[in-house]
Amino acid sequence: MEMWLKEAQIEDAVMTYKVKETLVRKKTEYQDLAILDTNFFGRMLVLDGIVQTTIKDEFVYHEMITHIPLFTHPNPKKVLVVGGGDGGAIREILKHPSVEKAVLCEIDEAVVIECKKYLPEISCALDDPRCEVFIGDGIKYVHEHKNEFDVIIVDSTDPFGAAEGLFGGSFYKEISECLTDDGIFVAQTETPFYLPDVVKKVFNDAKETFAITKLFMAAIPTYPGGYWSFTIGSKKYDPENANLDTTVEFDTKYYTKKIHKSSFALPKYVEDLITK
């Protein structure tokens, strides 16, 4: 008997994946968690029926949400990840030699536990001595830590349920206060094709708080539409004008210096979305 995962995040459109095996399935305090082994994308983390990351294409998301802000900031030493319990963002952050400490603030401990067990390629840096894993509410954590982080990455699930509060304008003001005077924040901000209203709202909320606010894009096969947006807010440094000549070199599969610059070149329908 064939098994298929049917992801119905978007009304009137679905994505389906052929499943070889269910490795874990449990109801946590916050969500339905599953890790599946699929034919094409390998093992994947699924929360509330929505694919979060897969072994095959996770590198795109994790490289872009981290290296764009970290190469924009001239000397990032302390980084906070809100969400991101799979550990992929931490793995990429710790490739930067300037980083002295990376804090992962994840509300659902089960995500961290199961990803360390079943997705070690992604979670491999969570035991690094520079990484601190804090299990708790990201909104509360940000509120209680003022002027502390050079970069904050909101690596959240979609803006429903437990993650809904991570997409509000008031949260971005809290993030600004949690950042240092030249700090940078970035968040995954959904698909402009299927959820244009979400993209527009998040961008406008961030723009009200940060002196420099820009949208950049990446092609992620397992995310609805395959074309995903990220919003970056900066107090001082413009990511499009970042000096990449002196950046350290390390292995990547998606991010390059050219991609850093070109990812801010938006299709007209996306540009219209955030400017009109």
Q: Is 31 annotated as contributing to ligand binding?
A: yes
Kindly write down the DSSP assignment for every residue of 133-149, as one continuous string.
EEES-HHHHHHH--S-E
Distance of alpha carbon 143 from alpha carbon 139, whole angstroms: 6
Mean pLDDT by 10 residues, the chain (276 residues): 84 90 97 97 96 98 98 97 97 97 97 98 98 96 96 79 54 95 96 93 94 98 94 98 86 96 97 93
Active-site annotation holder among 57, 108, 155, 205: 155
pLDDT recorded at residue 10: 75
Instruction: From residue 57, give the alpha-carbon distance in Å to each of 127, 144, 212, 215, 222.
Output: 23, 34, 30, 21, 7
**pLDDT at position 235:** 98
Q: Is 155 a catalytic residue?
A: yes
pLDDT (0 to 100) of residue 9: 74
Q: What per-residue confidence (pLDDT) applies to 207?
A: 95
Instruction: Copy the structure tokens of residue 154.
Output: 């909101």
Residue 62 known to bind ligand: yes
Domains of the chain, by residue range, sit at 3-54, 58-275
- What is the reported pLDDT for 169? 61
Residue 181 known to bind ligand: no
pTM for the predicted model, two decimal places: 0.94
Given 3.30.420.40, 3.40.50.150, 3.40.630.10, 3.40.50.2000, which CATH number is that of 58-275?
Answer: 3.40.50.150
Distance CA 78, CA 55 (A): 27
What CATH number has the domain spanning 3-54? Answer: 2.30.140.10
Q: Check the annotation: does 156 bind a ligand.
A: yes
